[in-house]
Structure 1
Amino acid sequence: MIGRLRGTLLEKQPPELLIEVNGIGYEVQMPMSCFYELPNVGEEAIIYTHFVVREDAQLLYGFNTVKERALFREVIKANGVGPKLGLGILSGMTAGQFVQCVEREDISTLVKLPGVGKKTAERLVVEMKDRLKGWSAGDLFTPHTDAAPIDVPEAEGADSAEEEAVSALLALGYKPAQASKVVSQVFKSGMSAEQVIRESLKSMV
């Protein structure tokens, strides 16, 4: 079991990153709510991981804190919710929003997430309501999750930022037409891919 990685960030292609630890590069997928808080490429990062072994792949999912990882593990315990869907859920809304949706039985908001139909949303509420009792929403994710988009040293080209944002949304489970439409609606000149992704996700919940 790989539970924690400490190393140098080599690449950031939302929602995936490449981190080098003692000469070995690990590909890790992260919810966008965690991805926003990563340091810049070339800097050191500490990532708490959840390791998934399938017949056709070995996958690492990463988080900034143990608490974030714990919530992910609770989410994927729900019937019919696998790691990929869990990634999409915790990218489409902050942890606080998710906990509130479950507590309030807000099915209408949950079904806006990629891959979450009415039945899945209902299962999430029923199965997680008791398990999430006592969770402090403010402690689940870093306090900057809902902050203004971060500044980046160099602005990306419009085409590359938009294309990277669309690719990230597709990886999270959104349909091509939906991803392209929302990205074109929120994109403004000078925005980085991460900023476009952040605004796109916020506009769909």
Structure 2
Amino acid sequence: MIAYINGLLTSIEEESIIVEVQGIGYEIFCANPFYFEPSMNKELKVHTYHHVREDAQILFGFAKKEDKYLFSKLLNVSGIGPKGALAILAGVSVADFVGAIEREDDKYLTKFPGVGKKTARQMILDLKGKLVDWIPDEENEATIFYTEARADQSLVAEALEALEALGYSDKELQVIKPELHKVEADKVDDYVRHGLQLLLKA
């Protein structure tokens, strides 16, 4: 596998860049090719994902390791191919994407091209809790959100147990669970109160 390429950036196209290494030009497909424009006709390093299939071998390129890592994880999600993964990376930072996964924000995720509600839920199911630890900066937005989200999830879980004790079915509670995760509260009682409001509206 080709992990990265060091070479001369000789061309920027709509979907790809060309990096020349010892007389060989490598076409590398990118989410935002023009991101590399300041390096035109200069030496640069591009982190690459070597995608092999029966009829082609394709290089996908990234400026940062975390972008490559997220791309590789997205490919493991049912319903997302290389083009879909690139489209996601073109429209979001890794930290923002991880934040959306951790708070189960399927509305945010469905804004990306080709991502419907089913695919968004699959991304959450496959990726939640698996991305944050890899991001090295402990103070980045995603890590901070992850810590807060874990605390919120504990309060929501307790609130759902309380609502179940009041006689509400698991099916009813699963419907309001995503909405409860969007609520910012410090006490279980606040989540229970909001949950009752949602259940009465259902």
Same fold per superposition (TM over 0.5): yes
Q: Percent identity?
A: 39
Q: Which runs of 5+ in 2 are unaligned?
A: 141-202
Distance 1:137 1:96 in 2: 11
Structure 2 counterpart of 1:69, which letter? K
If asked which structure has higher relative contact order (CA below 8 Å, sep 6+), I would say 1
Hey, which bits of structure 1, 4+ residues long, moved more than 6 A? none
Distance 1:136 1:51 in 2: 22
| 8 Å contact kept, 2:6–2:21 | yes
Pairwise CA RMSD: 2.2
Alignment of 1:122-201 (within 5 A): 122-136=121-135
Distance 1:108 1:67 in 2: 23
| 8 Å contact kept, 1:39–1:45 | no
Q: Which residue is 1:24 aligned to? A: 24
Deviations 1:20-69 (A, max 9, x none): 0110001101122x852553320111011111112222110011233321
Q: Answer with 1 or 2: which has the greater Rg.
A: 2
Note the C-alpha offset of 1:117: 0.9
Q: Which residue is 1:71 aligned to? A: 70
Distance 1:35 1:70 in 2: 21
Taking structure 1 as the reference length, the TM-score comes to 0.62
Of Structure 1 and Structure 2, the greater helix share is in 2
Distance 2:137 2:30 in 1: 20
Taking structure 2 as the reference length, the TM-score comes to 0.63
| 8 Å contact kept, 2:19–2:25 | yes
The number of residues matched between the two structures is 139
